[in-house]
Amino acid sequence: MRFLTAGESHGPELTAIIEGVPSQLPLTEEDINEHLARRQKGYGRGRRMQIEKDKVRITSGVRHGKTTGAPITLHIENKDWTHWTKIMGVEPLSEEEEQEVKRKITRPRPGHADLNGAIKYRHRDMRNVLERSSARETTARVAVGAVAQKLLKAFNINLCGHVLEIGDVVSAQPHFTSVGGLKEVTESSEVRCADKDASEKMKRAIDEAKENGDSIGGIVEVIAENVPVGLGSFVHYDRKLDGKIAQSVLSINAFKGVEIGLGFEAARMKGSQVHDEIAYEEGRGFYRKSNRLGGFEGGMTNGMPVVVHGAMKPIPTLYKPLQSVDIDTKEPFTASIERSDSCAVPAAAVVCEAAVAWELADAFLDKFGSDTMDDIKKHYEDYVQEARRF
Ligand SMILES: Cc1cc2nc3c(=O)[nH]c(=O)nc-3n(C[C@H](O)[C@H](O)[C@H](O)COP(=O)(O)O)c2cc1C
Ligand SMILES: C=C(O[C@@H]1CC(C(=O)O)=C[C@@H](OP(=O)(O)O)[C@H]1O)C(=O)O
């Protein structure tokens, strides 16, 4: 499968085209809207989230509730667009209009894409950078991930993204019996954290950052269960699925770190404390006695739950000024204030879930074929039985 997204933060809409989804997969707009709504929730977001009511419109690749195998086109309207029609218009402006909307952005925010993007594309108005570098794009990625999740769910593969840390507040590791249970708990929490005490502390940490004109980051975890052994491959660098997941997670706006299983902690431990012992049980087949490696060995899934962590830096746009330099006057200034989130870690957990879902679904189709759900199901069931008997 592959996908492209397009659209600016304050343009009319976000669009995604997905190619390679098999035919006969049941899919409705509501399947996607559910995830779009989840991404919009979460403590610490700014005023923009009160304006947007993200809903998808499917205009191709689905007929009467099922995919056809043709490219799927998804559209999500930006409600805020009505306030930006002049500033974001496609047609050239008259001189008068130009005067009216002339509010060039010349003051780059430390930590955002503004300055590098302006130099690279030679823009003297950094709006041309911020519009596309904005994490508004993650709406499209979540929509695409929702399609991937629908496919995985047909094979009982379930995912959940949740918050482990915000600032210096750390959640006790969740004790979940199933991703379903974890999902329920985290969806009812404003910070999407399964630890009730930590959730309250996280909210206070967000409030405190906001009161101080500051922002705050955190760590999210995505767990996927019932993933079959053998997705991805060891034979070539760009077929290693853990590597693909890492790329996908790091490409989410503001994500600066990714771990599979113990991740960085494994580097500080002895081999005997890290590697998961192998066991065998009639009917179940091979399994690991623990899951410190997060479901991966040799770039392939090993049948244990996939566990991915992503670290999000604090949001760059700050009410508390940081120093920067105007690209026109070359004068130093302290950053101008724009509307902004103070913490988007709970929302980012949903984005991270979508990123992992996409990579798993893509690897799944690589292994089991990609034309029609019936063929894939046959192939999958044969393989799972074989693997159990191996
Ligand atoms: C869900 C989400 C919401 C975000 N909201 C904001 C925001 O309101 N203001 C901001 O400056 N950055 C926000 N960011 C982060 C920026 O988009 C990101 O830092 C920027 O694109 C630069 O990319 P980089 O941090 O990956 O280098 C958000 C990120 C995510 C994932
Ligand atoms: C719009 C979203 O996030 C935006 C991401 C973002 C950024 O710079 O990344 C800046 C803010 O945009 P605005 O300046 O319009 O308030 C966020 O609201 C969204 O998540 O849907």
pLDDT digits (tens, 9 = 90+) for 284-309: 999 999 999 999 999 999 999 999 99
- From ligand 2's centre to the CA of 346, what distance in Å? 14
- From ligand 2's centre to the CA of 136, what distance in Å? 5
Max CA distance (Å), the chain: 79
Q: Write down the pTM of the prediction.
A: 0.97
Q: What is the pLDDT of residue 98?
A: 77
Could you identify the residue written with the tokens 């949903």?
350
- From ligand 1's centre to the CA of 369, what distance in Å? 36
- From ligand 1's centre to the CA of 195, what distance in Å? 26
Nearest ligand 1 atom, CA 112: 22
Q: pLDDT digits over 40-54, tens only?
A: 999 999 999 999 999
Tell the residue nearest (CA) to atom 20 of ligand 2: 136
Q: pLDDT digits over 242-263, tens only?
A: 999 999 999 999 999 999 999 9
User: Has residue 335 got a pLDDT over 70?
Assistant: no
133 annotated as ligand-binding: yes
Tell the residue nearest (CA) to atom 25 of ligand 1: 254
Could you identify the residue written with the tokens 């669009």?
15
Q: pLDDT digits over 73-85, tens only?
A: 999 999 999 999 9
253 annotated as ligand-binding: yes
User: Has residue 338 got a pLDDT over 80?
Assistant: no
Nearest ligand 2 atom, CA 134: 9
Q: What is the pLDDT of residue 320?
A: 86
- From ligand 1's centre to the CA of 279, what distance in Å? 44
Instruction: Tell whether the torsion through CA atoms of 286, 290, 294 and 298 is positive or negative.
Output: negative
Average pLDDT of the chain is 95
The CA distance from 29 to 143, in Å, is 10
> Is 142 in contact with 151 (CB distance < 8 Å)?
no
Structure token digits, residue 149: 């999740």
Mutate to test the pocket of ligand 1, among 341, 342, 343, 353 (most ligand atoms within 8 A of CB): 341
pLDDT band at 336 (very low <50, low <70, confident <90, very high): low
- From ligand 2's centre to the CA of 151, what distance in Å? 29
Mutate to test the pocket of ligand 2, among 56, 115, 340 (most ligand atoms within 8 A of CB): 340
Nearest ligand 2 atom, CA 45: 18
Is any atom of ligand 1 closer than 6 Å to the C-beta of 345? Answer: no
User: Has residue 316 got a pLDDT over 90?
Assistant: yes
Averaged pLDDT for residues 315-333: 93
Nearest ligand 2 atom, CA 138: 20
Q: The complex's ipTM?
A: 0.98
251 annotated as ligand-binding: no
| Contact residues for 179 (Cβ-Cβ < 8 A; gap 6+) | 158, 159, 160, 223, 224, 225
Is any atom of ligand 1 closer than 6 Å to the C-beta of 348? Answer: yes
Q: Is 41 exposed, middle or buried (CB count within 10 Å of its CB: 0-12, 13-18, 19+)?
A: middle
290 annotated as ligand-binding: no
Q: What is the pLDDT of residue 103?
A: 78
User: Has residue 139 got a pLDDT over 70?
Assistant: yes
Q: Worst-scoring range by mean pLDDT, 71-80, 331-340, 352-361?
A: 331-340
Please state, for a pLDDT cut of 70, what percent of the chain lies above it.
Answer: 98
Q: Worst-scoring range by mean pLDDT, 11-25, 179-193, 372-386?
A: 179-193
User: Has residue 175 got a pLDDT over 70?
Assistant: no
94 annotated as ligand-binding: no
The CA distance from 256 to 307, in Å, is 17
Q: pLDDT digits over 213-247, tens only?
A: 999 999 999 999 999 999 999 999 999 999 999 99
Q: What residue ranges line ligand 2, CB within 6 angstroms?
A: 9, 46, 48, 52, 134-136, 138-139, 253, 338-341
User: Has residue 196 got a pLDDT over 90?
Assistant: yes
Sheet containing 158-166: which strands, arranged edge to edge?
A: 169-170, 158-166, 218-225, 306-312, 255-260
Tell the residue nearest (CA) to atom 9 of ligand 1: 340
Pick 147 or 92 by higher pLDDT: 147
* Distances 93 to 80, 83, 128, 287 between C-alpha atoms, Å: 21, 17, 16, 64
Structural domain boundaries enclosing 366: 2-389
Q: What is the pLDDT of residue 102?
A: 66
Pairing of strands 62-63, 66-67: antiparallel
Is any atom of ligand 1 closer than 6 Å to the C-beta of 133? Answer: yes
User: Has residue 178 got a pLDDT over 90?
Assistant: no
* Distances 316 to 51, 113, 118, 269, 329 between C-alpha atoms, Å: 21, 10, 17, 34, 22
Q: What is the pLDDT of residue 294?
A: 96
**CATH assignment of the domain containing 53:** 3.60.150.10
User: Has residue 56 got a pLDDT over 90?
Assistant: yes
Amino acid at 176: F
> What is the number of structural domains in the chain?
1
221 forms beta bridges with 162, 309
